[in-house]
Amino acid sequence: MDRGPYHSRRPPDLSGYGGYKRQRGRGGPAPFSLVSYRAWRKHTMTQKAKKQLRSAAARMRSAASAMLGLKAAEDAASHGIQLLQSLEPGTVIGAYWPIRDELDPRFLMQALERRGFAIALPVVVKKNGPLVFRRWGFGDALVSGPFGTEHPAEDAPEVVPDALIVPLLAFDADCNRMGYGAGHYDQTLSQHPHVKAFGFAYAAQFVDDMPIEAHDWPLQGVITETGTVLPRKTT
């Protein structure tokens, strides 16, 4: 019978929660604090909830892609242009080259390029690290990257975008975003907090309840085929 961590021979590693440290004295290892255990437990439960939601959200996105296809991408592009047209021409907008069944942003990218915006695409340079963005335009070459991605070649100039269009698995009414779990976009936005980030997703990817943690970075809005979702106002 599982009697919980207090009865295990060795307590879990809680060094990242509440400053827990193993100390030896007469009585052997010091017991970890209840505060540390609660923090560890909360983190564990949140990770479990995220894993379950990712699985369900992936199925929902796949179904939306099969049902709506490129028509949704075209409609979302129109809403995206309405949202971004107030930006100055020449503004650098980071987008993404779609993989799997992500909503395709290439209609939006083409429309932005025609209006004088500069486009950049992300490059995964480190596992679980921030992204690097390189300038790219239609007709430029792409090279294969990790996780099935494609990105500009190494000789393309690196830039810091002024705004981002990002893929996702799920979003909520506060525009919290659930990605694939590597934290690439959260770390990128943490490194460049001035960058405005907008999700690009099927409306069906909306969820009522999103498990979030302190490091999760919310979006300024989410562009869908039915319109743009902005964070609800808090009083």
Place 1 in a pLDDT band, splitting at 50, 70 and 90.
very low
Question: Using CA atoms, how far apart are residues 181 and 170, in angstroms rounded to an integer?
Answer: 12
CATH 3.90.1010.10 fits 39-229, yes or no: no
Tens-digit pLDDT profile for residues 52-102: 988 999 999 999 999 998 999 999 999 999 999 899 999 999 999 999 999
Which residues fall within 8 angstroms of residue 48, CB to CB, at 6 or more apart? Answer: none
Tell me the residue length of the chain.
Answer: 235
The dihedral sign for the CA sequence 167, 79, 217, 56:
negative
pLDDT score recorded for residue 152: 96
Angle, CA 97 vertex, CA 232 and CA 165 arms, to 5° = 20
pLDDT score recorded for residue 44: 64
Average pLDDT over residues 190-197: 94
The residue ranking higher by pLDDT, 200 or 11, is 200
Tens-digit pLDDT profile for residues 96-131: 999 999 999 999 999 999 999 999 999 998 887 899
The dihedral sign for the CA sequence 213, 100, 73, 192:
positive
Place 23 in a pLDDT band, splitting at 50, 70 and 90.
very low
Tens-digit pLDDT profile for residues 211-220: 888 788 899 9
Average pLDDT over residues 140-151: 91
Percent of the chain with pLDDT over 70: 79
Candidate from 34-38, 126-130, 163-167, 194-198 with smallest mean pLDDT:
34-38
The dihedral sign for the CA sequence 217, 220, 225, 227:
positive
Q: How far does Cα 213 stand from its chain's mean position? A: 13
Tens-digit pLDDT profile for residues 194-209: 999 999 999 999 999 8
Angle between helices 106-114 and 34-84 (to 10 degrees): 50
Residue ranges covered by each domain of the chain = 39-229
Q: Kindly write down the DSSP assignment for every residue of 105-136, as one continuous string.
A: -HHHHHHHHHTT-EEEEEE--STTS--EEEEE
Question: Using CA atoms, how far apart are residues 70 and 76, in angstroms rounded to an integer?
Answer: 10
pLDDT score recorded for residue 117: 97
